Structure 1
Amino acid sequence: MGLDECTGILNDIGLSRSEFDDAMRLPYASEDLLSSAMRSAGIDPDSFQSLQAHRFMSRICITCQHRRQCHSQLAAFDFESHYQDFCPNSQNFADLLENGPRT
């Protein structure tokens, strides 16, 4: 992957290079915790018809300071019982569960 392609991906989710570098220093930076978290909360991550909504939630997850707690809860199969207490996407999950993915 070239520099232009990487920059394009970062622009798509609204991250600067320095924000990305900071995010890569967070625990479990290389893991897709968002998809696992969504499945655990009862949301199909493949159901999005709006890339903008998915990118917004991805940005929140990638830069989240609670990645270690999230990973631990997912590993213990207990995320769905506790994510409202720490997950910055919890309101987005609640909206999706109530209204479904927006088109």
Structure 2
Amino acid sequence: MTITANCAAGNQVDVVVDKWVLRMKKKGDVTFNMQTTTGAAFELTQKTAESWPFDEASPLKGNAKTKIKDKNGDYGYNVRLACAIGVSGDSVRVVIDPDIIVN
């Protein structure tokens, strides 16, 4: 899965997610390719303990390869992005809510 985010002028964040719903087999490998040319920060986090579809603990940061749990189900998780605004220390934050369906 590839997620591309770039910080744009006017405090905007441009985001492209290549798969909003990912269908996987139990114990399958998934690789997150998080790309930016402007320094956007990425983090994958769980919505709830029950909804975390990966064997590795939350959060996953940057590019990550992980295994899907050995349990069928529909799992939601969050992709959190942040772009710094100038030198003030403030940031624009975005939360994306894709799903993984395991069967």
TM-score, normalised to structure 1, is 0.23
Q: Quick check: which one's helix share is greater?
A: 1
Q: Quick check: which one's strand share is greater?
A: 2
